[in-house]
């Protein structure tokens, strides 16, 4: 991780000041700072001014952080006098010493406020904003965990700082680069610049131009896109309730903290039991809490040890516990329903809520689980009880209530659970035993040529043969990566190869092929191998489709099994795929869970199945992760880069009765030939969707030319031009010129105008892209 060079930060600040966004925010910020600066010491410590200081929204909104209740601190003389000392204090000139001193002051006041007025939550954002009001030269306006870390990455090249320490060091480096702030107004612009850097993290990271228009200010709850609705998991995938545990999310934080620097489950359990608050809890219960933390994605496994994940770091460092609340509402059945029910009917009696939850999930026959869910909500500050003991939402609860979908859209229709024996696999009719017998490639290729489903695909013999050889040259490591251009049929090749192979073996494809969509939030193997749910009433093992395939392969070594991982590098492969990589390389057993006995018929480990064919598709862009050498060393990597559109068009024509739009096909080929020169060409999927778009028009082939080219203009504009981007070069200039000429010749006005705008942008800034 490297900080942005000084020249780049200077350039970005110049752009920021050139547009000077958020002028209203700057004025309100200045008004707040001036007000507290001009107060006399006597007036400063008055409760009404202390309240204004804690609620200084003119400096910045802080979203859900506003809901943390610190009202008692307004009239607390000790806290007010400490804040007065901060306002008047002269800090060390050395930036490192200054950062340490301000961070110590921050921690001291936080300790007082939390202990006296909000024991279950730390008002981190509120206090950070308060500190900015008093020390505008030293601090900034990034108050969320994510914003702080990304800003530290850009400015300091490290995210390993305490909260306020990192804030001070960020401003110190900006001061070194930009010079000393000559006025309060300039200091405020720099504090706002930090938020602007965070808002433009993605384009700056890609070395593109940041947005020239002002975006939302921090914590702007009135912005059009401020309310991001939660996408609740399907009911069948959710955890069924969540038992109350000692200290609730503080217990989760303890587990995560114990994993700092790397720890085994036994190490974490030992650390928990050495804490007085957990000393009376049995080891099995501590291990259950560890498993809860792990399955929520707060820990990740690296080389056999557990470390805090990014979400885990956020949970232990930040309050309110947004990252946990979001997971609970999305992943735990009953949580979203409960919050919605209280929000819709408040104030509501507890017994009414209990009845609602038991009706929602009939297996909850007592009040135990409903009361546990409410206990979690109370501890997290989402609900409270009024004077009559009825449930009501807090401000923080209301914030999350607004993010829930309509009541009817929260999954609640649960099918009865059926215990599935993951070891119940198909018995081969042929009585195959022993090792897998390979199928000669000539038979595979002949089946590819004869298969009607494959007529619309362009799979060359050399591609299919390379896949076949890579999967058969070393039975210990049947692992292949298909990389290259999106839309060239990588997933389809793996999918149909498995189908052809199973057909030739006279076995049912469905039972021998698993296609797994890799999720960006995978940080450990549980997405593939499942996980042990120790908090269930009866300990169970949540088996994932990949696990079923691997176990079936292990029990039927004479039959082929295919595990296809789509978009494999959306998450870091070396993290979630580590057990597979280790077993296929070493030949040692594949460990499935840490228990000594079977759990729901899932054994602790199995021999590595040499009849398991693993294939992964790979796209390389700003949303994906690179592969480490240890992954590449274990795989064959096949690249799909060249696109043979003429063959594709011929195949389409054969499969749809010979209907063609030859003039559109010709233009697609000409444009793709140009884009190939700058590595921005498109695959078969894009070409096919352009033709599908046009073919939706009745009698398209009989339409007059202007009508056809008008429709083609819209299709090319929507599907092809967004791919074009890059830095100024003779090749890109020539490519844009040629494509412009092709579009102008066909009177495609939208494409022509857009390319002209992109050419102007390239000339003016040295870079261009569709989105501007």
Question: What pLDDT shows up at residue 216?
Answer: 59
Nearest to 526, CA basis, from 481, 560, 571: 571
Question: At which of 185, 205, 225 does a domain end?
Answer: 205
Higher pLDDT, residue 430 or 274: 274
Q: What is the pLDDT of residue 224?
A: 42
Q: What pLDDT band is residue 393 in, cutting at 50, 70 and 90?
A: very high
Q: Is residue 216 part of a domain?
A: no
What token pair was written down for 272? 């928990």
In a domain, 414, yes or no: no
Mean pLDDT of the chain: 87
DSSP annotation of 623 reads: T
Calculate mean pLDDT across residues 157-163: 84
- Do 627 and 716 lie in one domain? The reply is no
Query: Domain end: 598, 613, 640, which one?
Result: 640
DSSP secondary structure code for residue 142 in this structure:
-
What CATH number is attached to the domain comprising 391?
Answer: 1.10.10.10
Q: Is residue 310 part of a domain?
A: yes
| Average pLDDT, integer, range 223-242 | 74
Banded model confidence at residue 353, pLDDT cuts 50, 70, 90 = very high
Residue 156 and residue 16 share a domain: yes
Distance CA 603, CA 591 (A): 9
Whether 348 maps to a domain, the answer reads yes
This prediction has a pTM of: 0.52
CA–CA distance, 359 with 170 (Å, rounded to integer): 53
Q: Which two tokens stand for residue 126?
A: 């509120």
Of 623, 640, 657, the position where a domain reaches its end is 640
What's 182-229 look like in SS3?
Answer: CCHHHHHHHHHHHHHHHHCHHHHHCCCCCCCCCCCCCCCCCCCCCCCC
Who contacts 5 (Cβ-Cβ below 8 Å, separation ≥6)? none
Count other C-beta atoms under 10 Å from residue 401's C-beta: 19
Strand partners, 755: none
Where do runs of H (alpha helix) occur along 20-59?
23-38, 41-44, 47-54
Q: Within 10 Å of residue 87's Cβ, how many Cβ atoms?
A: 15
Q: Strand 561-566 vs strand 612-617: parallel, antiparallel, or unpaired?
A: parallel
The yes-or-no verdict on residue 378 having pLDDT over 80 is yes
Residue 640 CA to residue 483 CA, distance in Å, equals 6
Residue 373 in any domain: the answer is yes
660 and 636, same domain (yes or no): no
3-state secondary structure of 609: coil
Query: Going by C-beta distance under 8 Å and a sequence separation of 6 or more, which residues neighbour residue 632?
Result: 481
Structure tokens at 705: 């030319």
Domain assignment present for residue 429? The answer is no
Whether 660 and 516 share a structural domain: no
Burial (0-12, 13-18, 19+ Cβ within 10 Å), 767 = middle
- The average pLDDT across 226-232 equals 77
**Res. 429: pLDDT tops 50:** no
Q: What does R_g of the chain's alpha carbons equal in angstroms?
A: 30
Q: Can you read off the two tokens belonging to residue 767? A: 């870079």
Name the residue with higher pLDDT: 244 or 434: 244
pLDDT band of residue 121 (cuts 50, 70, 90) is confident
Q: Are residues 488 and 537 in the same domain?
A: yes
Position 505 scores a pLDDT of 86
Please give the backbone phi and psi of residue 332, each rounded to the nearest 5 degrees, phi first. -110, 120
Q: Are residues 42 and 178 both part of a single domain?
A: yes
**Numbers of helices and strands, H then E, in the chain:** 34, 17
- As a whole-number percent, the residues of the chain with pLDDT over 90 amount to 47
Instruction: Tell me, yes or no, whether 557 and 658 share the same domain.
Output: no
Instruction: Check whether 21 has a pLDDT greater than 80.
Output: yes
Do β-strands 332-333 and 239-240 pair in parallel, antiparallel, or remain unpaired? parallel
DSSP code of residue 72: G
Residues 735 and 649 in one domain: yes
pLDDT of res. 432:
41
Q: Picking from 41-50, 302-311, 425-434, 706-715, which range would have the lowest pLDDT averaged per residue? A: 425-434
State whether residue 448 is helix, strand or coil: helix
Nearest to 661 by CA among 682, 689, 691: 691
Give the integer Cα–Cα distance in Å for 661 and 666. 9
Q: Answer yes or no: do 607 and 705 share one domain.
A: no
Sign, CA torsion 281/285/290/294: negative
Spatial CB neighbours of 559, under 8 Å, sequence gap ≥ 6: 428, 432, 436, 505, 507, 512, 553, 611
- 27 and 129 assigned to the same domain: yes
Coil/strand/helix, residue 417: coil
296, 287 in Cβ contact below 8 A? no
**Tokens matching residue 522:** 């995978």
The whole-number pLDDT of residue 413 equals: 54
Residue 415 lies in a domain: no
What tens digit of pLDDT does each residue of 234-283 get?
887 788 888 888 778 888 988 999 998 888 888 888 888 888 777 777 77
Number of domains in the chain: 4
- For residues 135 and 239, membership in a common domain is answered with no
Same domain, 586 and 697: no
Q: Are residues 286 and 273 in contact, defined by beta-carbon separation less than 8 angstroms? A: yes
pLDDT at 218 over 90: no
Tell me the residue range of the domain where 515 lies: 441-640
Q: What is the CATH number of the domain that holds 625?
A: 3.40.50.300
* pLDDT per residue as tens digits for the range 716-768: 999 999 989 888 999 999 999 999 999 999 999 999 999 999 999 999 888 99
Q: Is residue 291 part of a domain?
A: yes
| 13: pLDDT strictly greater than 80 | yes
| Res. 420: pLDDT tops 50 | no
Mean pLDDT (whole number) for 645-668: 85
Could you tell me which of 250, 370, 736 has the C-alpha nearest to residue 258?
Answer: 250
**What distance in Å separates the CA atoms of residue 629 and residue 513, rounded to the nearest whole number?**
27
Residue 222 clears pLDDT 50, i.e. is over it:
no
User: Could you tell me which residues come within 8 angstroms of residue 406 by beta carbon, excluding any fewer than 6 positions away?
Assistant: none
């Amino acid at each position: 991780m490297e900080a942005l060079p000084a020249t780049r930060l200077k350039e970005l600040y110049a752009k920021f000041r050139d547009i000077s966004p958020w002028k209203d925010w700057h004025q309100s910020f200045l008004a707040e700072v001036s007000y507290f600066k001009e107060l006399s010491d006597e007036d400063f410590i008055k409760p009404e001014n202390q309240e204004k200081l804690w609620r200084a929204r003119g400096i910045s909104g802080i979203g859900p952080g506003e809901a943390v209740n610190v009202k008692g601190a307004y009239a607390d003389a000790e806290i007010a006098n400490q804040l007065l000392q901060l306002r008047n204090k002269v800090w060390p000139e050395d930036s490192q010493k200054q950062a340490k001193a301000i961070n110590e002051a921050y921690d001291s006041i936080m300790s007082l406020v939390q202990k006296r007025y909000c024991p279950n939550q730390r008002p981190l954002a509120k206090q950070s904003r308060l500190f900015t009001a008093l020390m505008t030269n030293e601090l900034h306006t990034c108050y969320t965990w994510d914003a702080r870390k990304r800003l530290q990455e850009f400015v300091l090249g490290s995210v390993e700082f305490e909260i306020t320490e990192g804030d001070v060091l960020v401003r110190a480096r900006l001061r070194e680069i930009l010079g000393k702030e000559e006025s309060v107004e300039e200091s405020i612009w720099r504090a706002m610049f930090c938020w602007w850097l965070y808002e433009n993290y993605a384009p700056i990271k890609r070395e593109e131009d940041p947005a020239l228009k002002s975006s939302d200010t921090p914590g702007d709850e009135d912005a059009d896109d401020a309310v991001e609705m939660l996408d609740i998991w399907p009911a069948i995938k959710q955890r069924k309730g969540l038992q109350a545990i000692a200290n609730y999310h503080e217990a989760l934080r303890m587990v995560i903290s114990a994993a700092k620097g790397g720890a085994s489950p036994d190490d974490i359990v030992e650390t928990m039991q050495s804490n007085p608050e957990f000393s009376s809890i049995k080891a099995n219960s501590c291990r259950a809490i560890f498993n809860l933390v792990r399955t929520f994605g707060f820990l990740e496994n690296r080389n056999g040890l557990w470390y805090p994940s990014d979400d885990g770091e956020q949970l232990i460092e930040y309050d309110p516990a947004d990252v946990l609340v979001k997971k609970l509402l999305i992943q735990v059945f009953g949580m979203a329903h409960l919050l919605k029910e209280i929000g819709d009917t408040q104030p509501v009696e507890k017994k009414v809520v209990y009845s609602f939850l038991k009706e929602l999930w009939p297996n909850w026959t007592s009040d135990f689980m409903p009361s546990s869910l409410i206990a979690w909500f109370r501890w997290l500050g989402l609900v409270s009880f009024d004077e009559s003991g009825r449930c009501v939402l807090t401000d923080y609860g209301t914030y999350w209530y607004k993010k829930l979908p309509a009541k009817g859209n929260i999954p609640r229709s649960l099918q009865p659970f059926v215990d599935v024996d993951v070891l119940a696999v198909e018995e081969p009719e042929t009585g195959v035993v022993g090792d897998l017998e390979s199928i000669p490639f000539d038979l595979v290729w002949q089946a590819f040529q004869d298969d009607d489903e494959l007529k619309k695909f362009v799979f060359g013999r050399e591609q299919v043969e390379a896949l076949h050889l890579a999967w058969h040259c070393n039975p210990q490591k049947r692992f292949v990566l298909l990389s290259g251009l999106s839309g060239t049929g990588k997933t389809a090749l793996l999918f149909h190869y498995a189908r052809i192979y199973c057909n030739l073996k006279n076995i049912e494809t469905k039972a021998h092929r698993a296609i797994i969509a890799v999720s960006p939030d995978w940080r450990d193997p549980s997405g593939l191998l499942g996980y042990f749910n120790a908090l269930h009433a009866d300990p169970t093992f949540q088996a994932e489709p990949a696990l079923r395939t691997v176990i079936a392969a292990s029990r039927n070594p004479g039959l082929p099994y295919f595990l296809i991982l789509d978009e494999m590098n959306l998450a870091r492969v070396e993290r979630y795929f580590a057990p597979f990589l280790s077993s296929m390389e070493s030949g040692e057993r594949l460990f499935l869970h840490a228990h000594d006995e079977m759990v729901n018929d899932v054994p602790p480990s199995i021999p590595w199945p040499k009849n398991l064919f693993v294939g992964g598709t790979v796209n390389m862009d700003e949303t994906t992760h690179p592969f480490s050498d240890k992954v590449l060393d274990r795989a064959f990597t096949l690249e799909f880069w060249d696109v043979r559109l003429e063959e594709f068009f011929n195949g389409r024509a054969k499969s749809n009765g010979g209907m063609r739009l030859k003039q559109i096909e010709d233009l697609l080929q000409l444009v793709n030939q140009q884009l190939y020169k700058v590595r921005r060409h498109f695959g078969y999927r894009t070409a096919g969707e352009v033709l599908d778009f046009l073919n939706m028009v009745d009698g398209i082939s009989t339409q007059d030319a202007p009508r056809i080219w008008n429709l083609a203009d819209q299709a090319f504009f929507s599907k092809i031009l967004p791919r074009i981007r890059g830095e100024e070069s003779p090749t890109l200039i020539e490519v844009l010129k040629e494509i412009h000429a092709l579009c102008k010749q066909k009177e495609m006005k939208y494409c022509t105008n857009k390319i002209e705008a992109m050419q102007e942008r390239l000339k003016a800034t040295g870079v261009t892209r569709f989105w501007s």
